[in-house]
Structure 1
Amino acid sequence: MKKFLKVLISMVLLLIGFTAFHSTAEAAKNPISPKQSRITYTLKDANGVAYKVYFAGVREKKAIASYNRGDWAGVWAGANPGDLLYKGNYTLYTQKVGTGQIKQSRHYFKDYTLNSTKRTVHMYPSKYKGQPDILAVAEIESSNSETASWYYMKNGVLTKIVDAGYTLRAQVLGKNSFLIAGYDNAEGEWYFSELYLDPSKNIFDQYDPIYNNPGAVIRNWKKHWQ
């Protein structure tokens, strides 16, 4: 019995050692360490499989937006005084939860300014079964305009599905459907677009609804991003 226990303990220790070695070797091959990520989210695909998504940069600069700055960290429509800013060349990386391997995606953002305070990199968590989480990488264009590239996990790959332009970030209407709102300064009017995503085919449709009382729609706008 004692001999059996010794053999069992030896096997367990060997397994632990192999697992630790394998994890260390796998981590050594990774393009980045999770600690290098400026923004990290956990995205689930349409089947509920979870992945860590890292937004990591090189040649990164950090600043606080100020009226005293005449460069990229100055105050403008995209940065209020005191906003925390970063600028660099960023890439998105993915890691399936429960594994040690980090994969570099093909999504690269050169000279990107990240407004951490305004969360220009944000996500829309899924509210429905069969709907993937959406990651958005946005750029502020003006006081009432922002554009964002939307990504989701499909078959283990971070996949871009649409570029969206708006004034108000999307709210979720239903399964794989979103509503965005834009304001036209010249006309003094709001306009709306409904986006319908098909994650299985990586396609989307767009429909522009007309509301009788757009002001009420805006007043009741919900924050679904985080």
Structure 2
Amino acid sequence: MKKKIISSLLVTLMITGSSSFSAFATIANGTVLIGNKSFELAYANDLANSTEITNKIIEGGAIYVKDFSGNWIDNTTGEIVDASVIPGEETTSGTTTDLDIIKAKSLYKLTMKDNTGLNYSVNIFSDDNQIEQASFDPIEDWAGVWAGASEGDQLSRGHYKVAVSKDGETKPKIYDVNENEEQILNLNPNRKLITVHKNIQAGQSDFLLMGTPGGSNFSDMKIYYIKDGILKLSSFIDNGEITNSVLTYSSRNLFFKQLENNVFETSTYNNSEFGGGSIGFYIATRKFDIDSGEFTYISSRFMETDHYFNYVKQAVGVN
């Protein structure tokens, strides 16, 4: 009976994640606690981990879910309970660091290397994060179904920051990703729009890709990189015009392909023959200079739709 109840609830609250960890004071939102062990919800819902989860349930112990607002819910009754009844929630194991606190409220937990090959922990978080489920009849206006959100997607809204810390360090550097203090970002963790591109070239930084859907066929993508321990925002130069973002296909994932020698591709889709254009994809090629942080336009080429999707399927290094 417990197994049936927990499966139903986890599907409702599922978020991205891929690891398990012991219960401690700063258990992250979007976590299920079975007895004295906690699991990220996506991990608990993954069929590959079903034996581990089932065995833990059989061992016994209460089952609680920490929702996206930080509330603890008794899995049996569905009622919100006080955190004081949660095993381990009030018990600190060792010293809680600045990084621990940030990780506990992070929407994305990533890793990337800088230009010297050092590894960094990259956590994207918000101190005023709001969570809503996308719906045709949303509670909040920003949580409606559209090209950037399918019905049932768990959407996040807030002023987001990026915490960057070198492996072994516990006090991260914090960077604001908003254009200004008034800007609020809507993120959809159900889609692959925030990810790290692993650079295949030695002596070069990985790239943090952050895409915001603009329609069904494109996202506005910003690209960050770490140079000598500092997170930097790249820029794009096209016919003398400089911008800090670039459009690329699509609203569900980001086309960003590495060729060689710091040459990269993005793509846009044209669905109209108006003005003499052809229906299909235009692939733009740019070269990146880590010293200036600039992607400089080189050329573009047209690709028919079927050819494009075969190209993406066969390509290596496409996000």
Tell me if TM exceeds 0.5: yes
1:60 to 114, 119, 129: 129
2:204 maps to 1:131:
yes
Query: Could you say which residue in structure 2 is the equivalent of 1:197?
Result: 288
2:159 to 71, 81, 89: 89
2:171 to 92, 98, 101: 101
Distance 1:64 1:175, change over 3 A: farther
Q: Which amino acid aligns with 1:200?
A: D
**How far is the alpha carbon of 1:103 from its aligned partner?**
1.1
Q: Which amino acid aligns with 1:115?
A: N
Question: Which has the higher relative contact order, 1 or 2, with Cα contacts under 8 A spaced 6 or more apart?
Answer: 1
1:134-168 deviations in Å (ceiling 9; x for gaps): 00111100011211110000111100013121124
1:176 to 239, 262, 265: 262
**How far is the alpha carbon of 1:178 from its aligned partner?**
1.4
**How far is the alpha carbon of 1:94 from its aligned partner?**
0.8
Structure with the larger strand share: 1
TM-score, L = length of structure 2: 0.58
How high is the sequence identity, in percent, across the aligned residues? Answer: 25
Query: Could you say which residue in structure 2 is the equivalent of 1:46?
Result: 115
TM-score, L = length of structure 1: 0.79
Distance 1:33 1:55 in 2: 9
Distance 1:223 1:83, change over 3 A: farther
Distance 1:88 1:184 in 2: 32
**How far is the alpha carbon of 1:112 from its aligned partner?**
0.7
**How far is the alpha carbon of 1:217 from its aligned partner?**
3.4
**How far is the alpha carbon of 1:204 from its aligned partner?**
2.1
Query: Could you say which residue in structure 1 is the equivalent of 2:65?
Result: none
What RMSD, in angstroms, separates the aligned Cα atoms of the two structures? 2.5
Query: Could you say which residue in structure 2 is the equivalent of 1:75?
Result: 145
Query: Could you say which residue in structure 2 is the equivalent of 1:210?
Result: 301
1:166 to 236, 242, 248: 248
Structure 1, 207-216 or 101-110: larger mean CA deviation: 207-216
Distance 1:66 1:209, change over 3 A: same
Query: Could you say which residue in structure 1 is the equivalent of 2:42?
Result: none
Distance 1:198 1:66, change over 3 A: same
Distance 1:164 1:71 in 2: 27
Specify every segment of 5 or more residues in structure 1 that has no aligned partner in the other structure, as ranges. 1-22
Q: Which amino acid aligns with 1:195?
A: R
Structure 1, 151-160 or 197-206: larger mean CA deviation: 197-206
**How far is the alpha carbon of 1:218 from its aligned partner?**
3.5
2:222 maps to 1:149:
yes
1:116-135 deviations in Å (ceiling 9; x for gaps): 01132212112222221100
1:113 to 186, 202, 215: 186
Q: Which amino acid aligns with 1:64?
A: Q
Tell me if the contact between 1:43 and 1:50 (Cα under 8 Å) persists in the aligned partners: yes
**How far is the alpha carbon of 1:24 from its aligned partner?**
5.1
The alignment partner of 1:217 has SS state of: helix
Distance 1:107 1:88 in 2: 11
The alignment partner of 2:159 has SS state of: strand
Q: Which amino acid aligns with 1:209?
A: S
**How far is the alpha carbon of 1:46 from its aligned partner?**
1.8
Query: Could you say which residue in structure 1 is the equivalent of 2:271?
Result: 185
